[in-house]
Structures are given as C-alpha cells and as structure tokens.
Structure 1
Amino acid sequence: MKNILLLLFFLPLLAFAQKTTILKGTVKNKNKEPIENVSVTYKKTGTTTDKNGNYSIRIPFKEEITIIYTHISYKTVVKKLIARNRNGFSFSPIMSSKTEKIKEVVIKNNKKNAEGIKKIDIAIVKNTVGPNAGVENTLMTLPGVNNNNELSTQYNVRGGNFDENLVYINGIEIYRPFLIRSGQQEGLSFINSNMVQNINFSAGGFQAKYGDKLSSVLDITYRKPKELATTIDASLLGGSVTFENQFLDKKLSTITGLRYRDNSLFVNSKQIETNFRPKFTDFQTFLSYEFSENLTLNFLGNFSLNNYNYTPISRRTRFGTVADPLELTVFYSGQEQDKYLTTFGALSLDFKANDRLSFTGTTSRYNTQEEEHFDIAAAYRLGEVDANIGSDNFGDVEFTQGIGSQLNHARNDLDALITNFQIRGKYKKERQELSFGIKYQKEDIRDRIREWEVIDSLGFSIRPPNSIGNNQPYQPFEGPITPFQNIRADNNVVINRLSGFVQFNERMFWNDNEVWYNVGVRAQNWTVKANGTTSKNQTIISPRAQFAIKPNWKEDMLFRVSGGWYSQPPSYRELRDYNGNINENVKAQKSIHLVAGMDYSFTMWERPFKLTTEMYYKDLSNVNAYSVDNVRIRYRADNVTTAYAHGIDLRLNGEFVPGSESWVSLGYLKTEENINHRGNIARPSDQRLKFGILFQDYVPNLPNLKAYLNLVYNTGVPGGAPAYADVYQFQERLRDYKRADLGISYVFTDANKQYKTGFLSSFKELTAGLELFNMFDIQNAITNTWVRDVYSKTQFGIPNFMTGRVLNFKVSMKF
C-alpha cells in the first residue's frame, strides 16, 4: 500500500520532468564582462544571474517559449526558443547598455575603422598560441600579413618585405638589428606583451603622421599602471617577470619587464643535429611622471642581449618526389658564435597648452653592437634513394649523385648608433584636428665585413663565376684556390635626415551620413656620407589622403578609401649591395598606393560579428630589388626595377563561441617585379593565397577550461637562387606552408573568479596549460640550401625544414 502511495506521489513529478528541460547560460555585456542580477523570466517562472553572469532555469520541452532578460542598466533582451534536447541546452545573450550615445560620440568610436586601423585586443594576443607568442604572432593570422618562419617575429605585408614595416611604441619608432640572418638568432621581439595597453595596425594607406615606409604601421601604446601588480610567466621556452605600480602620491607610474628565452625546445625538433642553446635576455621599462595635469615626462628604456652559439654536427634531409626521392647527408665541423647587444632610450615631454593645443617633444638613441663569427666546414653526399617497395634495399641510398664540401668563414662586426629629435603638435577645434611635426635623425654605422666561402666538389675547387675558364674535371687547373664568394669591406656611413609632416582631419555629417576625411603630406631630405664620399642632397614629397562614410542605413556599414604617393628613403641595409659595397646615391623607393575597404557589422546567432573587406593596388618604381635568405635581406643597391602588387583581404570576426572573439581571414596577393626591363617575375614575397583561423573556445559545463587554435595556410613563395645566379632562371616555389598550433589552459582564478581564503586567495590571476606547436607535424620549408656538383654542372635546391611537433607547458600568475 505504501509503494502505491509513493508511486502516486512521484508520478506527476516524473511526468513534469519528462516535459521540461534545463536552459542555462552566461549573460555578458559588449565588453565581454559578466552581468550580475539579470532577471531571467518565462511566464511566472524566473531566476537571476550570479556574480559570474551564470543562470539556470527549467523550461518546457519541444514548445516555443519567450524568455525575457532584464536589468536596470541594460536594454531588455527578448528571445523565442524551442528546446529540442532533453539533456538541456544553453543560450548566452549579450546585453547593450541603456546609456544613449549622441552622434558625435558614435563617430569617435568609428574613428579607427574610418582610418583603416585594426584595433587588436591585448587579451587575444596573450592567448594566441605560437612559437613566438606576442603581438606579431597575432598579426600573422590577419589577411595580407605573411611569414613562413615560426622562429621569427618579422612579417611581410601585402607584397612588401621586413624592412618596409613601421613599428612605434608610445609614438617612438623602433628599429631591428642589422646582421641577423636566421630566425633562430632573432630572439625576443622588442614589444613586451605584458606591458601593452593598445594595439593598432594598418596594412596600407596610412596617414602622413606616420613615417616613410611602403607597407604597414604597427602602433603600440604601453600602459600607465593604476595599482601594484606583479605578473610572472614561465614555460619550457623561458619566462618573464613584469612589475607595475605608482609612487610619489601617484605622480610617478612605472612598469618594468624582464624576459628570458631559450629556443632549445624548437632546435631539438629540427632535422639538424646540433650542440645548440640560444639564449635571449631582454629588460625594458616605461616610466611616467606627471608634474601637473598639463605636463608629463616619460621615459622608455630597453636592453637586450642575444647570444647565439651554434655547433652543427650532422644533417639528413630527404626530398624530391615519391617516384624519385633524394637524400642529402651532411657532416659538419666548426662552430658559429654570434652576439647582438642592443640598447635603446627615449625621453618625451607631453605639454598641454590648453584644451585645444598640445605638444610632444621626444629624443631617443638606439645602439646596436653585433658580432657574427663562424667557421663551419660541411662534407656532403647527395644520393638517389631506392624507391622500389619490393627491394631488399628499399629506403637506402643506392647511388651517389654528387659529393663535395664547403667551408664558410665570417668575421663580421657592426656598430650602429641612431639618434633623433622630434617635436609634434596637435590642435583640436570641435570636430576638426590639425597635426604637425618635424624630426631630425642621424645614423652613424661602422661595418666591417670579412666573409668567404670555398666550395669543393669531387675533389675540385669551384671557382667564382667571374673567373677565367675552368674545365675541370676534364683538364687540370693549376692556379691558386680562390673562394667562390669573397666579401671584404669596411664601411663608415653617416646618414642625416630631416623630415616633417602636416595633416588635417575633420568629422562631419552629410545628409545624416557620418563622414570623416584626412589629408596630409610628408617630406624628407637626406644626405649620405659613405667612406669619405658624400651623396647628392635628395628630397621626397609624400601626399596622402583618407575618406570614410557611414551611411544612415538600417545596416551598420562603413565605406572608406585611402591612398597616396608613398616613399621609402634608403636605410643602411638598402645602400649595401651583395658584395658589401655602398652606393650612397640610391634613390627612395616609391609607391602609388590605393586602398578601398568596407566594414559590415551585423548580428548572427544573437551575437555581434563584423566582416571587413579591403582591395588594394600598389604601383612601385625606383625599386631596390633584393633576395631573402631566411630573415636576411640582401639588396642590389640600385633602382633599376619596377614592380606592382594587388590583392584583396577579407576578415570575419565575432563571437563564434559566446563571450570569446575569434576570426577567419582570407587574402589573395600577386606581386611581380621587372628588373632592368627583362620582364616580370615573382617577387620574393609573392605569396598568392593566405588563409588563417584564430579560434577560442571553452567547455560549456566547465567554462574555466579554455582552448585556443591558431591555424595558418600560405601558398609557397619563390625558393630563391644560388649566389651569383640569375634569378630569372630560378623561379621554382617552396612547398605550401601549413601549420596548426593548439593551446589548452585552465583558469584557476581571474578578475571574475576571486577567492577570499585558501591558496588561491594569494593570486589575482592564475592560469596553467599545455601548448602543442605544429600539431600535425608538417615539414615546412623556409629557404633552400644550394648544393653544387662540378661533374654534372647541376645545382640542387635542398629545402631547409622548420620545426616539428613540440609540446610546451606554461603557467601564468599575477599577484
């Protein structure tokens, strides 16, 4: 009898449970911050969100209902839902603030978009997985930005090279070392991600206030701390410590970072067996002292030391096709010892005369002392591999196609000192702004080059291409051994530059349409004194303009066009030719650059998304053609080349997963050059197709467990040419670049989840996780090593493969 009564009691509950399910989710604002005390109601049933924005409510199964989300400070969200899963499902709305915005504020929020500037969230940068984690690693997921070397932070933008990109920190231009030729030697990026507040990036068509380069601008702002904090990051690749605080009644703020990196984890995954442990150290500080509301003094300082000690032992590389595989075996002796010491200091004074007029004066000095010393002998054998599956010797080398040896020697030393003084001003009046500035810069470079290469094949020394006839092995040659390459130079170069700009921009309305435009012009005058010879005085004028309109449409769309005559006066690298000689009369490279773009913001899956599209065209003249060896650029030091570049970039970003921004990017590029009227060939940066995904996700039932995917696919670039060879005869491309990096981390505590007691109460933030680099273990090639065989008169391009699959553990904490 009791069992029957219990059954009668629970039967309605069981029937009710079969007809209902659980709806849960997280309510956030547009800044991805959780909202507490949001009322979530369905008819007479309701609940509220907790401090983390989470809620849970039972709703009918397979029945359309209306859920209402209300909060006193946010606009009400109404959503119709049908539950089709008995196990529950989730919905996480984004609520908009009730604060009304006048039109002028809306224009201000669209200013960066109107300028063609991409604003990147620093939180995304810190979460982006990659061997060189940081700002540049995130940039390489954007369309139009390419790099096939995961050990380098250098990048190409829309057909340009590494030397065509401007990098600013707090309005101060940053430089990179001169002699570095390999991504392994590069070490740490100048930019310390833990010190960054804002990141703005333009891939072309930028304003006159930025410098004289042809490709892009990366504009970084370091933050001024508001409270005491210490951040520690550690992994198998190294670590960093960042300290920040305010002193002297909050007038003095300081943020200081110390970083250390060891690339052994990646080097050990490569095809070359070595005794190698590259070590990189970087110390950086940003100080700001506020004398008054109108006067602030700032200091940015950096010290970095890269020690690169390299002793190769052996290498074994298989390449070719399945039907015709080849194997290169190399045994090394000798070592390379490189050292790059860089110091940088900049002092700036911000003065606000009144609410409309302000000035900034800056002086900075950059010094790099670089040593590149190596003696490496290599004995190699190039053989054909037995590809017959039924053979007893399948996979073995059955025929030696070429043997030989090489001896490379270098004693290269460079000391460069760059000093500049700059004054900038800005005048604002309502919706108009006038900016202007003038800058003087002196570059003093002392460069000593001692570099040669001796090549031997089948017992015969290969003579340089411009030497007298050599009919070996058919006829003996009795002359002295001459290096195949022999570069000897002592260069003392002083470059004086005077540059300035003026630009005007205005925000206005035209028939209820928001309009923004900018017009400006830059000018630079320079002279070069090289080894006692002074060049003629050269001057360039660079007019630029931008226009953007946001129509008063129902759809949120923004259209913009920009362009101008861009010029790049030669740096020391561009003045030095393949043989180390200086041509002090090299002219500025020039480009007519046009960009047309559109931003379309929309809502999908009740979440915000944006589609950005840009088309561009560059017509280049006075081009200084170059070759690329890993990350070293070698120029012809002439202006006998013309070129062009055109393409289209697309990027879709938004909350593919609620509360986490991700994006998909696609880019198409074609760039060719015509050297001395010989016809168009692909430029070294001609990377036709780029596809990238940056994806963030989390486990719904365990939101503190997060996953990050960084996927890049680039079609192959030209593989380069051997020394002294005609580039028109070597136009084969490297294999396509494919890479996927995966990161998984668990957030123990952060700003949204704090503990008052226990071990975790000591931390403001604590995160630990694993990173899997090159998760599919794909062999990507960066350049070719050219092996010469004097007997067959053939040169073989052997691909230099990059890093394999690597697992890394990391932990990050903030006190």
Structure 2
Amino acid sequence: MPKIKVFILVITSSLFIVITSVFSQVKDKTILGKVIDGQTFDPLPYANITFLNSEVGISSDINGNFSLTNSINANSLVISYVGYKSRIIDLENFNDTEENVFSLLPINIFLQEVTVYSNTNKQTELSEISSLSMQSERIREISAGMPDILRSVQALPGITVNNEFKADFNVRGGNQDENLVLVNNATVYEPFHIKEAANASVGIFNVDLIQKVDLITGGFSARYGDKMSSVLNIQYREGNKKKYTGAASLSLAYLDGYFEGPITENSSFILGIRKSYLEYILKMIDYEDISSVKPSFYDVQGVLSYNFSPSNKILFEFIHAGDDFSYEPTRRNFSSPVIGSFQGQDAEFKSLKTENENYKATYFSNLFDIQSINALSSKSLLKGELSYYKQTDNEYRLFLRDENQDIDILTNADNYYDRIRTERLTYDTLRIETLELKSDLAYQFTPKYEMNSGLSFQDITYNQIIDDIYTYIRRNNFDDPNIEKSDTLITRGDLSEEVPIKVKSYKYNAYLENIFQLNNELTLNIGGRVDYFKLNKDLTFSPRISAGYSLTDRTTLRAAWGYYYQSPIYRQLKSSASSDTNTQSQLAIHYIFGLEHSIFLSDDINNFLRMKIEGYYKDYQNLVSSFFGTFERLTYSGYNDAAGSAKGIDIYTVLSIPTFYCWLSYGLLFANEDKFTDVIGEYPRYTDQRHTLSFISSVDLGAAWSLALKGYYGSGFPYTPRTAVQNNGTWQWKSEQIHSAHLPAYKRIDLRISKAFNFSNSSLNVFIDVSNVFNFKNIQNYEYKTPGFSKPVPEEVPLWPILPSLGIRYKF
C-alpha cells in the first residue's frame, strides 16, 4: 500500500511539473505579430487582437504590427478587422524567434466573391481563398491584342461571349446590360473603347493601375444593386509612397505606360496612359473589309492620395477616354454581259453594282471620383464618395448603293437603262451624365458579428436622338429611250425613334448587411436593400442571404439566394415621362449552391490543385424583351412583356506546380425567354450558349523564357434568320421565328512567347503574340444588308483571322 501511495505521489508531481512547464511557456510570453490583407498583402492598421473569451487585447499600429503579452494564461488569440473574416489562432503555433504574419481575407471572398486580379507578386493562404488571382503579367499574357481586364474575365466560368476581341460579355444567361461595373465603388455605364465596331472593343481600364478586381457571377450581397446578373468591382491602387517607379510597353497595336511615386510624406500619385495605332496595322491586312477600318483610341487615368492621419485619407481618381472610329469600305461588282430579250427584241444586258459606306463615330467618357476613408475606431469604418460620370457618343452612318443596268438593243441603236440608288442615313447621339453620392458604414460589434450599411443618391441625365431614313430613287427610260422617268420612296427604318429620349431623374437606395461568423466553419450574410427610381415611381425591396461552410480546411460549401431588381436603362425606356406607367424594374431571383476543394501537392502552398463546381438557377420576371436588330444591335421592346429563366452548372479546375500553371473551365447553360404578346411560347434567349470551354496555361521554359496558351470553345448562339420578300416593288427582310437557328460554334487558340531580361534596377520583356494561331474561321453573325430593288442575300460577318504582333515592355 505505501508503494502505491509513493507511486501516485510521483505521478502527481510529474504531471504538476509538466502542466506548470506548459503554462510557463505561454504565460507572460510577448507575442509579436503583423496583420495583413490576404489578397493585396497590405498591412491592416487598427486590427483587433484579443485573447479568446476575454476583453484583454490590443490594436495593431498603422503598419499592422502588434505586441501583446499573455498575462492571463490564454491558449488562443482572436484576430479581427472590419470587413474581414476573423481568425482564431492557437498560441502554440506562434513563432517565438521572429515576427508572426497573419493574413485576413475579405468576408465576401469566403461567401460569393471571386477575385480575378490582385496586383501583388506575393502569395496568400490558398486553403482559405475561393478566388482566381491573375497577376499583372498574366493579364498581359492572356489578353488578345492588348492587356484588358474586361476581356480577361471572359475565360472565367459562367462567362460567354464568342468573340474575344470584344470587351462586353454575358454572365450565366443574362445579357450584357445586366452587369454592374464599378470603379472604386463608382458606377460606369459603357466602359468600352471602339464599341462602335461590330466585332471588337477594348475596356478603358489600365491594368497597371488596378489594385484588385472582384467578379461576382451571382448571389451578390445587398451592398450591390440595380443589376440582375453580376458585379465587376474594380479597385484602383494608390501610388508608391517610397520611390518613383514605372513601366512602358510598345507593340504593333498600342503603346502604354505608367509612372508613380511620392508627392510629399503623406501623399502619392500614379498616372497611366494608353494609345492605340490599330488603324495603321489594319490598313495592311488584306482580309474582307478590315483594311478600311480605322479605330483609334486613347485614355489617361490616375489616382492622387493624401493621408491626413494614419486613420483618415482621401483619394481622387480620374479616367478620361476617347475614341475616333471610321469605316469606309467600297465594293464594286461587275456582271458579265448577258444576251436576252427586252420588249420582244434581242438585247445585251450589262450590270454594275457599287456600294459605299461612310461610318464615323466618336466616344468620350470622363469619371471623376473623390473618396474619403475614415477609421472611426478599431471596430468601425466610414467611407464617403462623390463621383461624376459623363459619356458622349456620336454615330453617323451613310450607306449608298448604285445598281446600274444598261440594255443595248442588238437590232437597232436604241439604248435603255435602269438606275437604282439606295440611300440609308442613320445617326445616333447619346449623352449620359450622372452625379452620385455614397456613404458606407461598417461596424464590428464582436469578432463574430458585423453590420454594414449604406446610402446613395444618384442624379441621372439621359439624352438620345436616333433616326434611320431610307431613300430609294429609281430612274429608267423603259417607256421611251429619249424620256427618263424617276420615282422616289422615303421610309423610316427599325432604328428610328419618333420621340427622342430626354430624361432628368434620380435614384436613391439603402442597404443593410448582417454578417454572422457563427463559428470557424459557418458564416452568414443576411441583408436587404431598398431602391427607388423617380422616373417610373418604382420602389423595390430585395432580401438576400448567402452562406459559407467549411467542411474541412480544404473544402468549402457555398449557397446564396436573393431578389435582384434592375431599373430600366435608357435603351429600355418606353418614354421619357416620369410616370408609374413607364417601363418598370426587371427582376431575377437567384438560387446558387457550390462546392470548392483544394489539394496541396507539397509543403509549398504554390503547388496545388483546386476544383470548384457550382449550380445555379435564375428566375426572370417582368423582363423587357430584347432582340438583335439593325446593325446587330441589342434592341429592347420598351415594355415589361416577358419572363424567362437561366440554369446551369459551372466547373473549373486550377493546377499550379513549379514552372507550370493551368486553368480549365466548363459551363453548361440553358437560358430561355417567353414573350407574353406572341403565341410562340418559350424560346432560347440570345445568350443561350449551351457549352462553353476555356483554358489558360503558362509554362516557364527556363532561362527567363515563358510560353502562354489560351483556348476557347463556345457552341453557337441562337439568332433570328430573315428571308427576303418583295413588297411594292422593293425587297425587304422578313424575320422568321425568333432565335430559331444557331450560329456555328466558336473556337480559338492564342499564343504568347516572351523573354525577360533582368537588370539591377529594371527589367525588359520582349514578347510575340499570335491571336487565333490556327486561323479558325469564326462567324459573329449574318449581315442583312440594306434591301432595295434587287433581291438581297445574307452575308457572313467573319471574326478576326490569325493576327501576329510583337512588342517590348520596360519596367523600372
């Protein structure tokens, strides 16, 4: 018995020594750390660091650093920041010999947001981030022709376009006008260069100035409104506050550059410029009418920042963009002489048809934005913003066709002729002007509960004048070879607007989000927003909820549901009158569920395989029906006369290993529309692309050589075929059943090879781009040219052939 007591005493003493030793390792230890943004790697000033289940804690300094002594024998630390997902850290995982760096991720990343671009060369904790991050050079590698964030996102799951030279895109069955584009939280409407061209456009945003781009393809939170399909949120960065740096690029198609640096100790700037000279390159291309296209554009943009204090700063951002576009093709078609009969006599018929088109367009847009960011405390953040946006478009198009037929009687000297001239004059002038005021407040009550709220007011001006006039002139001497008879017919075309759009109105909205981090696994965002549009007296309420659940540290489930109203844009309005009988808001109800899983292939977090699958369903109500009309432009009925749906599955896989990166995306989509005023029933929406497949890959070949490939396949979009019919002596196009045919499938592969030369304080990159390297023939649509007195035939509108380019980029 005494031996047992001695044994128990020895065991008890040993346990006491061990426990005391463990506690002594934690207690009174000084914890050194730094809190950073997990995407941009910028420090997070005034982050909250507290011990778990305790009020004891501290805030990080302006550089995100903190020092905290464990005086209460705590085992875990909670790190939180307004707008970010809180983290619980086991103190046993702290490094005692050097600074510990902790990254926090924006809460929206854990829910639905997808970051497609982040301007940093560092890496983050990929196990927690549901994003696709494209670095600056990768954007340059995968953008055909010139770097463009808008065309780069087209490789993402859920995006369809079938023309990678165009910057606008469709998202999950929605059309191009259902996407919200924000620049530093300010709304822009049509941010595209050379958008007048039928088969090309370029985003106005300079990649070198962008800090981050977030794309949400559905289920976005209540802070975003007035659009039904997606949000593209572009954040410009501040200039370098420590030194002057910059870069310049020169290629066959464009030149661009940026310069940044400090102004004073508390202020900085960044300025970027771009200029194209595509008109000179296209002039040398002998393909269809490309040589007669003269697209020219430029943009200047920048950011000025000033820090009043470590917790208060002001940003001034501006973008100025301009275009000058012209298209002046000439076509002549001679017919071989034909022997026939005219008025009972043998005659020789000779024909000549000449077509001339004079199309000129200009585009200018300006965005001026002032943003104030104020950290009221370590738990609250207040943002205020005033932005002004102005866009002007002027388009003039004159189409002339002369059809001449000469008839020589073979038995005498009589000569007859038939002269037909078709003129079509179309012009479109547009002015969009907005003044927007926004205020957003975020308050973190506890590390597990945060509330976001905001108000905004937008003053809107739309002015648009459109006319479309046909003039037919026919002259002949059929009755008497010495007497000419002439007939003239004037009609108006599909684009003609009897009453111009002149709108002066306003919108206001308010939103509230409640973000609950119920535990380390489950996060909820429950909120709603109210929107009011004075023009149509329409007041809407949009409830929304999204959730993220971590099954493991590598696997995440996501779900979202919500109402998404969209007020009518200028092209959808029935009239300019401020009335509740005007076009009302459209509605899409989103249902989304997805799963993401990451596999790390080694201890290096850069070696991973990530897979994501997401299913969705959109219930469209109160739609304004649309179709592609004259010049293949998206045209709206002006009435809430349709309903529809979009459903599908998006899948992507990302593989990253040393010297190789690959991204594969597949989308399956069913998009339908049902117009109430017809008897057809449900038909495919024009965005109904059944299958979409894309890939991006880059290979490090060694010795500073790299190879990048980008591929895209899309099954053909539906379109409405037309048949030529004769009416009162002239030919006209008659539309068949809407979207009853499909265009051919689209396929394309782009190639880029580059070589880097690194110097002590600078670098030089030489590259060769080949767009459509296999020269696939792709069809954008069919052109139904202006009809006249002869029977017209549909013509294919081809997309770009193989286009090589080369250039250099110098960075200092």
- 8 A contact 1:455–1:483 mirrored in 2: no
Q: Flag the 1:563–1:156 CA change in 2: closer, same or farther, 3 A.
A: same
The CA deviation at 1:489 is: 3.5
- What secondary structure sits across from 1:152 in the alignment? coil
Aligned position for 2:303 = 286
Give the whole-Å Cα distance in 2 for the aligned partners of 1:117 and 1:710.
Answer: 20
Match of residue 610 from structure 1: 610
Q: State the secondary structure of the residue aligned to 1:748.
A: strand
Letter of the 1:262 partner, please give it.
Y
Counterpart in 1 of 2:135?
122
Partner of residue 651, structure 2: 650
Distance of 2:332 and 2:713 partners within structure 1: 27
The residue aligned with 1:343 is 366
1:527 deviates by 1.7
Correspondence list, 1:284-363, <5 A: 284-314=301-331, 331-363=354-386
Kindly provide the amino acid, as one letter, of the partner of residue 135 in structure 2: I
- TM-score, reference length from structure 1: 0.73
Spell out, residue by residue over 1:323-351, the C-alpha distance to the aligned partner (whole angstroms, 9 max, x if none): xxxxxx98432412211121111111111
Contact 2:532 2:539 in 1 (8 A): yes
The answer for the alignment partner of 2:166 in structure 1 is 152
Pick aligned residue for 2:811 from 804, 809, 814:
814
Residues in 2 aligned to 1:306 and 1:623: alpha-carbon distance in whole angstroms? 33
- How much does 1:132 deviate? 4.8
1:558-573 to 2 correspondences below 5 Å: 558-573=556-571
Tell me which residue corresponds to 1:784: 782
Distance 1:769 1:274, change over 3 A: closer
Alignment match, 1:240: 256
AA aligned to 1:437 is G
With 440-449 and 477-486 compared, the bigger mean Cα shift is at 477-486
Residues 186-207 of structure 1: CA distance to partner in whole angstroms, max 9, x if unpaired?
7541321011122221111111
Instruction: Quote how far apart the aligned CAs of 1:240 are.
Output: 0.8
Distance in 2 separating the partners of 1:790 and 1:199: 49
**Which residue number corresponds to residue 684 of structure 1?**
686
Q: Deviations over 1:682-703 (max 9, x none)?
A: 111111100001010122xx34
Answer yes or no: is 1:453 the counterpart of 2:494. no
Secondary structure in structure 1 of the residue aligned to 2:150: helix
1:219 aligns with 2:233: yes
The 5-angstrom pairing of residues 472-491 of structure 1 reads: 480-485=489-494, 486-491=496-501
One-letter amino acid of the counterpart of residue 134, structure 2:
D
1:435 aligns with 2:484: no
SS at match of 1:369: strand
Tell me how far 1:628 sits from its aligned partner. 3.2
Q: How far did residue 786 of structure 1 move?
A: 1.4
Which segments of 5 or more consecutive residues in structure 1 lack a partner in the other structure? 1-29, 34-97, 317-328, 382-402, 460-475, 529-534, 756-762
Structure 2 counterpart of 1:498, from 485, 492, 508: 508
Residue by residue over 1:460-497, the C-alpha shift from the partner in whole angstroms, topping out at 9 and shown as x without a partner, is xxxxxxxxxxxxxxxx9978443455544433112211
Give the structure 2 partner of residue 369 of structure 1. 392
Larger RCO: 1 or 2 (CA < 8 Å, sep 6+): 1
Quick one: which amino acid aligns to residue 670 of structure 1?
Answer: F
Matched to 2:571, the amino acid is: R
Give 1:303 deviation, angstroms: 1.0
How far off is 1:653 after superposition? 0.6
* Alpha-carbon distance, 1:593 to partner: 0.6
Instruction: Quote the offset at 1:380 in angstroms.
Output: 8.3
Unaligned runs of 5+ in 2: 1-37, 42-92, 116-130, 334-351, 405-418, 477-484, 723-731
- Comparing 721-730 and 127-136, the one that deviates more: 721-730
Secondary structure at the counterpart of residue 133 of structure 1? coil
Classify the secondary structure of the residue corresponding to 1:307. Answer: strand
**What's the counterpart of residue 805 of structure 1?**
802
Partners of 2:687 and 2:475 lie apart in 1 by: 36
Give the secondary-structure state (helix, strand or coil) at the position aligned to 2:140: helix
Distance of aligned partners of 1:100 and 1:661 in 2 relative to their CA distance in 1, 3 Å threshold: farther
What's the counterpart of residue 344 of structure 2? none
Name 1:748's counterpart in structure 2: 757
Tell me the secondary structure at the aligned position of residue 112 of structure 1: helix
User: 1:458–1:148: structure 2 CA closer, same or farther, 3 Å change rule?
Assistant: farther
TM-score norm. by structure 2 comes to 0.73
User: In structure 1, what is the Cα distance between the partners aligned to 2:699 and 2:721?
Assistant: 43
Please give the per-residue CA displacement for 1:629-679, whole angstroms capped at 9, x wherever unaligned. Answer: 677321111111010000000000121x52443200000001011111630
Q: Contact between 2:466 and 2:500, CA under 8 Å: does it hold in 1?
A: yes
For residues 186-201 of structure 1, what are the structure 2 equivalents within 5 Å?
A: 188-201=202-215
Aligned-residue offset at 1:182: 3.6
The DSSP-based 3-state class of the residue aligned with 1:277 is strand
Aligned to 2:45: none
Task: Give the secondary structure class of the aligned counterpart of 2:704.
Answer: strand
Deviation larger for 598-607 or 499-508: 598-607
Which residue in 1 is equivalent to 2:667? 667
Q: Share of identical aligned residues, percent?
A: 22
Deviation sequence 1:589-636 (CA, Å, 0-9, x none): 101111101111013588301001110001101011112367732111
> Residues 192 and 204 of structure 2 are in contact (CA less than 8 Å); yes or no, is this contact kept in structure 1?
no
Contact 2:192–2:201, Cα closer than 8 Å, also in 1: no
User: Which of 245, 264, 272 is 1:229 aligned to?
Assistant: 245
Letter in 1 for 2:273: L
Contact kept? 1:132, 1:151, Cα under 8 Å: no
* Aligned residue type for 2:444: K
What is the one-letter code of the residue matched to 1:644?
S
Instruction: Identify which of 743, 757, 760 aligns with 1:734.
Output: 743
Can you list the C-alpha shifts for 1:296-344, whole angstroms capped at 9, x where unaligned?
111111111100122112399xxxxxxxxxxxx9843241221112111
Matched residues in 1 for 2:690 and 2:332: separation? Answer: 31
CA deviation after TM superposition for structure 1 residue 765, in Å: 2.3
- Aligned counterpart, 1:523: 530
Q: Which residue of 2 aligns with 1:206?
A: 220
Supply the distance in 2 between the matched residues of 1:260 and 1:341 (Cα, whole angstroms).
14
Match of 1:599 among 589, 596, 600: 596
Equivalent position amino acid for 1:154 in 2: D
TM-fit CA distance, 1:747: 0.9
Contact 1:667 1:690 in 2 (8 A): yes
How far 1:111 sits from its partner (Å)?
5.5
Native 8 Å contact 1:122 1:196 kept in 2: no
Aligned to 2:125: none
Specify whether residues 714 and 219 from structure 1 end up closer, same or farther in structure 2 by C-alpha distance, changes over 3 A only. Answer: same
Given residue 669 of structure 2, which amino acid in structure 1 is its aligned partner?
L
Deviations 1:784-807 (A, max 9, x none): 211587899x87432211111111
- Tell me the equivalent position of 2:349: none
Distance of aligned partners of 1:313 and 1:425 in 2 relative to their CA distance in 1, 3 Å threshold: same
CA 1:521–1:315: 2 relative to 1, 3 Å: farther
CA shift in 2, pair 1:494/1:274, >3 Å = same
Say whether the 8 Å CA contact 1:717–1:733 is kept in structure 2. Answer: yes
In 2 relative to 1, CA 330–420 (structure 1 residues): closer, same or farther, beyond 3 Å? Answer: farther
SS in 1 for 2:571: helix
1:463 — aligned with what?
A: none
Does the CA-based 8 Å contact 2:470-2:490 persist in structure 1?
Answer: no
1:233-270 per-residue CA deviation (whole Å, 9 max, x = no partner) reads: 11111111201111211x11211111111333357364
C-alpha deviations, 1:19-40, integer Å up to 9, x for none? xxxxxxxxxxx99x9xxxxxxx
CA distance in 2, matches of 1:560, 1:127: 31
Distance 1:560 1:314, change over 3 A: same
- Residues 305 and 341, structure 1, Cα contact 8 Å, conserved in 2: yes
Alignment-derived partner of residue 697 in structure 1: 699
Q: Is residue 563–residue 592 contact of structure 1 (8 Å, CA) maintained in 2?
A: yes
